[in-house]
Structure formats: C-alpha cells, structure tokens
Amino acid sequence: MNGYSSHADPINLESSPHQVRATVRKSVPAGVALYECREISPERKSARQADRCAALAYDVHKLQTALTQAQAELARCRTEIPQHGRMVSDLRGVVDAQHREIVKYKALLDGVELEKGDLERQKCELSKDRDRLIKVVRRYQSPTSGPQSVIDSLRREVQHLEQTIAQQDQRGHREKATLEQEVDDLKRDLVRERNDNRRCRDALTAANNRCAVLEGEKEDLSRAVHNARQNAEDARRRAEDSMNTSEATVREFEDRLQQALTQGSSQQEDLDDVRAECERLYQQNRDKQAQIDELNMRLRHFKDLSDSQSHSLQRAREALLDAQQKRKNIENVQRLEHMNMRSRARESSPERRCVYCGQVCRGCSPSRRANDRLRSSTEGRIQAPPPYSR
C-alpha cells in the first residue's frame, strides 16, 4: 500500500481536542490531504465538535466545582445552625435564671420593707407608751399624789421603761442601718442583674438575627445548589448529546477515511506527479523571485545615480547662474566706465564726429543715447537655461 497503513489509529474521545486533531492528522495521508480536499471537511467538523465537547466538559467541571463549594458552604451553615441554637438555648437559660434571681431579690426587698414598716410601728407604739407613762409619773408627782412608795415604784417602772425604749431605739437604729445596707446591696445587685439581663437580651437578639441571616444564606445556598444542579444536568445532557453526535461523526469520518486509505494506493502516482509539478513550479517561482530581486537592486542603483546626477546638474546650473550674474555686473561696470570716458572725451574735444549720427556735433540727444545703450545691453545679454525638472 506504498507505506501507508490501511487501518487508522483509534480516536479517544475523552482526550483533549488538540490530541484528537493530532491523531486525525496523523492518520490521514498527505495524498488524501492534497487530492481529496473535499473528503477531509468532516475532519474539521469533528475537530470543532471535539472542541465544543471539551468546552462543555470544562463548563461541567466548573459547575461541579461550584456545586461542591456550595454544598460545603451549606454543610458548614448546617453545622453552625445547631451551635447557634445551643448558644440561644444557653442564653435563654441564663436569662431565665437571672429573671428568677431578680424575682427572689424583689421578694427579699419586699420582706425587708415589710419588716422595716413593722419596726417603725413598734417604735411608734413604744413612743406612745413612753409618753403615757411620763404623763402618769407627772400626775403622781403632783402635791396631791399618794404614798411615797407608790411614787418610787412608778418611778422605777418609768426608768425601766425608758431603758427598754432606749434599747429598742438602739436596736431599731442598728436594724434600720442593716436593712438600709441590705437594701442598697439589693439595689446594686438589681441594677447589675438588669444590666446582665439587658446584655443577655442583646446577645439573644444578635443570635436571633444571626440565625435569621444563616437561614437566609441557607435558602440562598439551597437555591444556588438547585440552580447549579439544574445547570450541571443541562450541561451534562448537552454534553451527552454532543458526544453522541461527535461519536456518530467520528464513526462516519473513520469509514470515509478507511475508504480514502484504500483509494490512496491508486492515487499515489498522481500524487507523485503533482508533487513533482509543485516542486518545479516552486523552483521556477524562486528563480523569478531572484530575478525580481536583481531588477529591484538595479533599479535602486539607477535611482541613486539619477539622484546624484540631478544634484550635480543643479549645482552646475547654480554655478552658471552665478557666473552670468558676475559677467553682467562686469559688463555694466565696463559700460559705465566707457560712457564716462566718452563723456570726458566729448567734453574735451567737442569737434569730433558723433558715433551715433556720423556728423560733427556735441552729441545726440540723451534719449537717443539711452535707447542705444538699452539696445546694446539687450543684444549682449546671455539667456539663462530653464530650471531643471526631474
């Protein structure tokens, strides 16, 4: 079969598009690529389809990566939600305990207030008894009082009652100070418990807000996962359809390639002739190109010579114009000198013949002499050459 195998290499559809194209190009002989150019067009189509399949596979890979990341984020949120729920439960337990403590302190404060009221009432009653006894003693101390023994007994009773009242007052003051200190401590504890309760409520509110945010993120991630799954499913379905189409196209191309390989042996001689003709035309083209390069070099050389000659001619023209100007200046100077000499000679010898009229005179009119000088200068002028044009 002239060095060509009749069996093509199998094409792996899971490889990259570049590998697929390289495998296809390796399996196609050069003769088929030159002579059967219309039969190779499905190769390009299969290459494009392979590229599209690779692009779809890459898109599916990206979607799967995004889906994996979304699932990981969703799992993290799911693990965080129970933790936040436990935190909320703990905070609620702390708030309930603080509330119970506050209720207990309020009950203690109410009891202290009641006890304080009882002590105040007892103090008032003792003061009333003291005043009543003082009145009785004063009544018995009057001149109309009874025996002295009764008065002494009553006086001792009054002293005893005064001591009792003083002790009750001291005990009442001590209990009052103690109760006031306890009330102040309870008030401070109540303020501290209220602050703790407020902080717990703020923390509970923040935790509830965080839970709401996490719930929203969970819903967003669920929607994103659903959309990613839908997109991945669509991409997978499109990839499967494209792969099926590509497999059918590749099978068709392999069949046509097998047919082309079987026909390649009969077309090898024509291919050799075509190659020889191409080589001859290529050699002829190289010769023509060499001639064109040589002509271009000669043309550039002639152009350089023409430029140099143009510059030389321009310089010669400028030198000629300078020489003509110098000559004209010299002629004008000589003419003026000659006229001066003639005028001096005419003044010195007025009887000579005039060069203009041929008679003995003192000279012709000035207008005639001026016309003659103009005519002579016009006849002797040298015309300048026209400007050089390339």
360-378 pLDDT, tens per residue?
454 455 555 656 665 665 5
Quote the DSSP letter at residue 355: T
- Region for residue 3 given its phi and psi (left: phi exceeds 0; alpha: psi -120 to 50; beta: otherwise): left
Inform me whether the pLDDT recorded for 389 exceeds 50.
no
Inform me whether the pLDDT recorded for 108 exceeds 50.
yes
Inform me whether the pLDDT recorded for 27 exceeds 60.
no
Kindly state whether residues 77 and 226 are assigned to the same domain: yes
Inform me whether the pLDDT recorded for 65 exceeds 50.
yes
Q: Looking at residue 12, what is its pLDDT?
A: 47
Kindly state whether residues 107 and 64 are assigned to the same domain: yes
Q: Looking at residue 30, what is its pLDDT?
A: 44
Asked whether residue 255 is assigned to any structural domain, the reply reads yes
Q: Report the pLDDT averaged over residues 76-104.
A: 78
d(CA 16, CA 54): 7
Confidence grade of residue 284 (pLDDT, cut at 50, 70, 90):
confident
Inform me whether the pLDDT recorded for 11 exceeds 50.
no
Domain boundary, last residue among 232, 264, 296:
264
Q: Looking at residue 205, what is its pLDDT?
A: 81
Contact 264/28 with Cβ under 8 angstroms? no
Kindly state whether residues 310 and 186 are assigned to the same domain: no
Asked whether residue 271 is assigned to any structural domain, the reply reads no
**Identity of the amino acid at 371:** N
Kindly state whether residues 256 and 301 are assigned to the same domain: no
Domain boundary, last residue among 211, 235, 264:
264
Confidence grade of residue 206 (pLDDT, cut at 50, 70, 90):
confident
Q: Report the pLDDT averaged over residues 168-191.
A: 79
Kindly state whether residues 238 and 300 are assigned to the same domain: no
- The larger pLDDT score, comparing residue 305 to residue 269, is at 305
Q: Looking at residue 145, what is its pLDDT?
A: 46
Q: Looking at residue 273, what is its pLDDT?
A: 74
Inform me whether the pLDDT recorded for 288 exceeds 60.
yes
Asked whether residue 198 is assigned to any structural domain, the reply reads yes
Q: Looking at residue 36, what is its pLDDT?
A: 41
Kindly state whether residues 309 and 230 are assigned to the same domain: no
Kindly state whether residues 302 and 233 are assigned to the same domain: no
Asked whether residue 279 is assigned to any structural domain, the reply reads no
Q: Which domain holds residue 375?
A: 351-380
In sequence order, what E strands does 81-189 have? none
d(CA 188, CA 77): 41
Contact 13/259 with Cβ under 8 angstroms? no
Asked whether residue 215 is assigned to any structural domain, the reply reads yes
What's the CATH number where 149 sits? 1.10.287
Give the least confident one: 69-73, 140-144, 346-350, 380-384: 380-384
State the total domains in the chain. Answer: 3
If you compute the radius of gyration of the chain from its CA atoms, what whole number of angstroms results?
67
Q: Report the pLDDT averaged over residues 345-363.
A: 57
Q: Looking at residue 379, what is its pLDDT?
A: 52
d(CA 137, CA 15): 126
d(CA 9, CA 6): 10
Q: Looking at residue 3, what is its pLDDT?
A: 42
d(CA 181, CA 35): 115
Inform me whether the pLDDT recorded for 330 exceeds 80.
yes
Kindly state whether residues 242 and 125 are assigned to the same domain: yes
Kindly state whether residues 238 and 302 are assigned to the same domain: no
The pTM (predicted TM-score) of the whole model is 0.29
Residues facing 360 on adjacent strands: 353
Asked whether residue 278 is assigned to any structural domain, the reply reads no
Kindly state whether residues 344 and 376 are assigned to the same domain: no
Give the helix/strand (H/E) hosting 34.
helix 30-35
Kindly state whether residues 362 and 214 are assigned to the same domain: no
- How many helices (H) and strands (E) the chain has is answered by 6, 0
